[in-house]
Amino acid sequence: MALETTADSPVPVRTVLRLAGEWIGRLGRVWVEGQIAELTRRGGTVFLTLRDPVAAVSVRVICARTVLDASDPPPAEGARVVVWGKPDLNTARGSFSLTGFEIRAVGIGELLARLDRLRRSLAAEGLFAAERKRPLPFLPGVIGLICGRDSAAQRDVQRHAAARWPAVRFRVEQVAVQGPYAVTELTDALHRLDADRDVQVIIIARGGGSVEDLLPFSDESLIRAVAGCQTPVVSAIGHEQDTPLLDLVADVRASTPTDAARRVVPDVAEQLALVSQLRSRARRTLLGRLDREAAWLAAARSRPALADPLREIDRRTELVVALAGRARRSFATGLDRAADDVGHIRGRLLALSPAATLRRGYAIVQRDGEVIRRAADVTPGERLVVRFADDQLTVAAEDSTRHAPDA
């Protein structure tokens, strides 16, 4: 009902807000579509600013954190969503908002959410692990190329590969790269090239496209087929803003088909330059080693023992002769000293010998080998032996007359 008011009989603001809130409350819950312009979390409550996709208007949405986290993955700023909410007018503040009970991603947002769930599932199985990535061959004999029919990606790969290595060979599988048959044709071509023993690396190339066009390159069956290949696989989808799951499972991810040709095929000019550099480096290393060995040999030959071997022998001979002479002189000196010692001892012995005393006119009187020291010890008639310096005489004792010795 319309309020009957006049300038003399107005209604307060609270009444107008209360009535407007009651009328808005009768709208019930509605689905609202918009883009998240701002997202703020405060404790267990989330505050969203939902902007109209066409008009420059927005509305505030308040919901519990569990409502936002119920989406897998939770929407972020910039995502396009639909909100199931109840309009509400805060009479205390006079502000309009929506109380959200459910949030869903729509359009591209929903598609990206499904791809993100698949990505996390495959990552948990280890299909994207770095340790299972296989290295590319240095110079593949045959390159398998999966691309669209008469596509620019095929021309880019083959042209740049031939420019880098003219002898490179390709085995091309032209398939549908978008549409309902793309996944089947891509997988079959991959299996054929993987079974070919001559093919050493496989390139899957496409010249970019929208998210919907690139959906076949995120198909689970294709991802598992690439993970099961024995041949290294290079993903060359010409895009930057979005990453199909093929980029994650492939052994090497190239940003464009041209980049794939550069990664797979070495540049013959660069390789020749590298070979020349390595040859020069090896030559310098070898010459340096020869110079060091020659210098060492010259230094060894300049040593006296090698420069003049006979000189060392002569020097040793002179040393031996000098030592022999020294030994001879030392020995002769020792003998002379010993002879002098013997002469001195002999002189002393001669000086102390009784024979020397006897030569001076003395004699030794013995009886039966016993020396007679006094005449009183001799009996008259007793036979005695008188020893001189050179001989002896046997005598008989007569009378023992004692005489006093001369003074």
Q: Does the structure show a pLDDT above 70 at 194?
A: yes
Contact 355, 389 (CB under 8 A): yes
Say whether domain 137-266 belongs to CATH 3.40.50.261. yes
**Mean pLDDT, to the nearest integer, of 76-102?**
84
- What pLDDT, on the 0 to 100 scale, is given for residue 363? 84
- 367-396 confidence digits (pLDDT tens): 887 888 888 888 888 888 888 878 888 888
Q: Where are the domains of the chain?
A: 17-106, 137-266, 358-396
Q: Which two tokens stand for residue 315?
A: 């020097």
Query: Whose structure tokens read 């070495």?
Result: 266
- 164-181 confidence digits (pLDDT tens): 888 889 999 999 888 778
Contact 237, 205 (CB under 8 A): yes
- What pLDDT, on the 0 to 100 scale, is given for residue 407? 43
Q: Which two tokens stand for residue 172?
A: 């091309």
- 345-374 confidence digits (pLDDT tens): 988 887 777 777 777 778 888 888 788 888
Same fold, 17-106 and 137-266: no
- 129-150 confidence digits (pLDDT tens): 888 899 999 889 899 999 988 8
**Mean pLDDT, to the nearest integer, of 305-333?**
87
Task: Number of helices (H) and strands (E) in the chain: give both, helices first.
Answer: 12, 14
**Mean pLDDT, to the nearest integer, of 43-56?**
82
Where residue 403 falls among pLDDT bands split at 50, 70, 90? Answer: low
- What pLDDT, on the 0 to 100 scale, is given for residue 201? 94
Architecture of domain 17-106: Beta Barrel (2.40)
Rounded CA separation 251/132 (Å)? 8
Rounded CA separation 158/281 (Å)? 34
Strand partners, 203: 145, 234
Q: Which two tokens stand for residue 365?
A: 């009187």
User: CA 316 → CA 97, 179, 223, 319, distances in Å?
Assistant: 115, 100, 87, 5
Where residue 190 falls among pLDDT bands split at 50, 70, 90? Answer: very high
